[in-house]
Chain A
Amino acid sequence: MENEKDKFKLYASCLLTKGALRSTICDVQREKFEFIPNILYEILTEHDGSTIEEVVGIYGEENKDTIMEYFDFLKKNDFLFLTDEPERFPQVSLSTPHSAHITNCIIDFDRNSPHDLASIVPQLDALNCKSIQVRYHYDATIDELESQLTAITNSKVMSCYLLLPYCNCYQARDYIRLLDIHQRIRHITLHSCPQDAVLKTDDESIGLRVSLTEKAIDPEKHCGDIGPEHFRINLRLFSESNTSNTCLSHKLSIDKEGYLKNCPSMPQQFGLFGHLSLKEAIEKEGFRDYWKIKKDDIDVCQDCEFRHMCTDCRAFRSSTENRYSKPLKCDYDPYTAKWGDRTKLKKSKPEQSEKIKTATN
């Protein structure tokens, strides 16, 4: 009985991506990936469900050692199993239906912004939007945040991410109080903080929900970074990446002047908030154009072995005329499998120092 189970099958949670020079196996269950040669990609896609002997037969005895090495590697990583019924193990579907018209929304504010959360959130509710990022281009006070965010308290928005400049007038306890009142705030990023700034607290968990960075972030410019530090390996991203744009699909943005856009960093706008409803804006011609641009459609990305674990950016592109051109802030070359200097430099930089300090008495 046992020896009949000799047909090999990749686990459906191990997903292949072919690049120009090499391929990857994304293990979306264990959230890791491994490189494989393109010839192994071919074996696993064209001969999946065959026996290893059959593969040796096809590629010739002279390649047997290499092939056996490949399969040892796959078994060692638990990417593959043997079975006598490969037809009973279908692929995972890569369709990604959303129970929302908009899944995430970026809302920017400066001191003069004409819009406010109280009038935006009910409209987001009508679109089933569950996640928002609110970015303040000025040093909004905690009192302001507290009062504005009451808009999400009984809404469908379950997660809220905040980005604002650091202010030395607040202590850790002020942020803890805010997070306590508004439990739907998942994370606060405070940027432009002085080198010696720290938040002292007894509450160790705050480090997971507040982070400090010395970088001065201009939200509209500081976006679209591409690199290994942004790779994520999971089924949701992998399938979405196969079918739509992983940054812009189902996204709506309101820039600091109140213009409705795909992304605040993009020039096209679809009207001014207040002059038309969010629903009307997303139904306008052209609003969903970028949603459909998937990695397989984008120059260079379509040949990259990282494309279904990577992010995308259509705002900062290598060519402003060509909406299918490679993201500007990516310096990887899949044809040589080499990263550019910018990424190498980032890699060699030490980890940023911990700025949330647990107070010691």
Chain B
Amino acid sequence: MILVLSQNDIEATTIEVTDWLDFYKADYIRMNGDDLLGRGAYQLGLDTSYLNIGTRTIALADIGVVWFRRWTSTDFSSYFQSPEQEDAQKDINEYLKKEYFATSKALFHVLKDKHWLTDVTFSTPEKFSLLQSARDCGMRIPETIICNNLSSLLTFERDYPNGVITKSISDVKSIRISGASYVPYTARISGKMQREETFHPILVQENIEKQFELRVFYLAGEMYAMAIFSQADSRTAQDFRRYNMDCPNRVVPYLLPEDIQNRLKELMDRAGLNCGSIDLIKSKNDDYFFLEINPVGQFGMVSHPCNYQLEKKVAQYLIEKDDEQ
């Protein structure tokens, strides 16, 4: 049986993949992270042999493969409500959130010997360690520092005539301001604009002059690349996620050179990942620069415009692995 781990709400990629699982009459069950918060009774132990998911009871031994797609979508800040005691509400919710994630880890532990598509243990790689591994695998990477002071920033940017950029050190987090949601994006930065001598730590990276960006979906050694021509539009030149809806960036299928594919495969192996979205830049000097890996990134945005049928390929992979068990 295939265990699909996803999140509540409509998650388009999960639906498209499970449509294929339905089509092939595969044996699967979907569990959402928030099921652990639901009313369905469950119990986990080191010798657990059954899992309760919704109204179903599944023998652990029957699960052949686990697809880790997403997990929770619960907003813990308002999970427990106590309007009279706001301090307590905040602390209690932080604690409940930690308890929830520890429970999730216990569940993942129970499943640890299964074959995973995106092993959850490696699903949040750290940026520096990935950059290090990428360089060790022979990929070029943009020079990168984390700093908290103006003098470091000014010294660093002096070396790069094309300027420097800053981006999130950890995963991006959306920030709500008056009901609207904002997501941090990659932006040009210059020490000349800063007034403070020291500031909250930021990641600063050499700006690479791009021909185009590449988003590569990686599935068990196969690579499906899409070139994103974000350079023509000043809005998207630093970060294609600042989508221009009126005139979207050109996105087309791309074939990566074999040596780059080999290096990326080695990098994914080292990172313990068999699936994920890899971001690259093809520079004006014809070099391929590695930027980052998002193990649970959206791949519909690569699959649909390039007609790669990735949802079908993921479903086929899961069925094949489940059959092998």
Contact = CB atoms under 8 A, between A and B. Distances in A.
A84 B308 CA distance: 24
Interface residues of B, number: 29
Given A13-B305, A97-B309, A89 B19 contact: no
Contacts of A87: 255
B225 to A, nearest CB: 9
B254 A11 contact: no
B253 A100 contact: no
Contacts of B22: 99, 128, 156
B252 A11 contact: yes
A94 B307 CA distance: 7
Interface string A65-98: 0000000000000100100100111111111010
Contact of B23 (A81, A92, A128): A128
A99 B312 contact: yes
B5 interface: no
A81 B229 contact: yes
Given A89-B253, A97-B312, A99-B20, A29 B305 contact: yes
Interface string B216-258: 0000000000010100100000000000000110111111110
DSSP majority for the A interface?
loop
A78 B250 contact: yes
A88 B254 contact: yes
B306 interface: yes
Contacts of B255: 87-90
B286 interface: yes
Contacts of B284: 1-2
B16 A99 contact: yes
B23 to A, nearest CB: 4
Interface string A222-249: 0000000000000100010000000000
B129 interface: no
A102 to B, nearest CB: 11
A30 B244 CA distance: 11
Interface in B254-280: 254-257
Given A1-B285, A99-B22, A13 B250 contact: yes
Contact of A89 (B16, B227, B311): B227
A1 B282 CA distance: 14
A89 B252 contact: yes
A20 interface: no
A272 interface: no
A172 interface: no
A9 to B, nearest CB: 9
Given A78-B250, A99-B19, A235 B229 contact: no
B19 A128 contact: yes
A81 B306 CA distance: 17
A95 B307 contact: yes
Contacts of B254: 88-90
Interface string B267-305: 000000000000000001110000000000000000011
Nearest to B249: A29
Contact of A29 (B248, B253, B311): B248
Contacts of B308: 93
Interface string A1-36: 110000000011100000000000000011000000
Given A99-B16, A128-B19, A92 B307 contact: yes
A238 to B, nearest CB: 10
Interface residues of A, number: 28
A84 B285 CA distance: 12
A120 B54 CA distance: 27
Nearest to A79: B250
B285 A100 contact: no
A110 B312 CA distance: 39
A100 B250 contact: no
Contacts of A90: 253-255
A94 B309 CA distance: 11
Contacts of A99: 16, 19-20, 22-23, 311-312
Contacts of A2: 284
A255 to B, nearest CB: 27
A84 B284 CA distance: 12
A81 B308 CA distance: 22
Determine which residue in A12, A81, A95 has the highest number of CB atoms from chain B within 10 A of its CB, and name it. Answer: A12
A13 B286 contact: no
Interface in A162-203: none
Contacts of A84: 286
A99 B312 CA distance: 8
A31 to B, nearest CB: 10
A156 B253 CA distance: 32
A29 B250 CA distance: 8
Nearest to A11: B250
Given A93-B307, A128-B19, A30 B229 contact: no
Contacts of B252: 11-13, 89, 92
A12 B247 CA distance: 16
A1 B283 CA distance: 12
B229 A1 contact: no
A100 B305 CA distance: 20
A91 B253 CA distance: 7
Nearest to A96: B307
Contacts of B16: 99
A285 B251 CA distance: 42
B285 A92 contact: no
| Leading 6 A-B pairs by shortest Cβ distance | A12-B252, A99-B19, A99-B23, A99-B20, A88-B255, A93-B307
Given A30-B248, A99-B19, A130-B19, 6 more contacts: A12-B252, A30-B247, A81-B250, A88-B254, A89-B254, A99-B312
Interface of B: 16, 19-20, 22-23, 227, 229, 232, 247-248, 250-257, 284-286, 304-309, 311-312
Interface of A: 1-2, 11-13, 29-30, 78, 81, 84, 87-95, 97, 99-101, 128, 130, 156, 235, 239
13 contacts: A1-B285, A12-B253, A13-B251, A29-B305, A78-B232, A81-B229, A88-B254, A89-B255, A94-B307, A95-B307, A97-B312, A99-B16, A99-B23
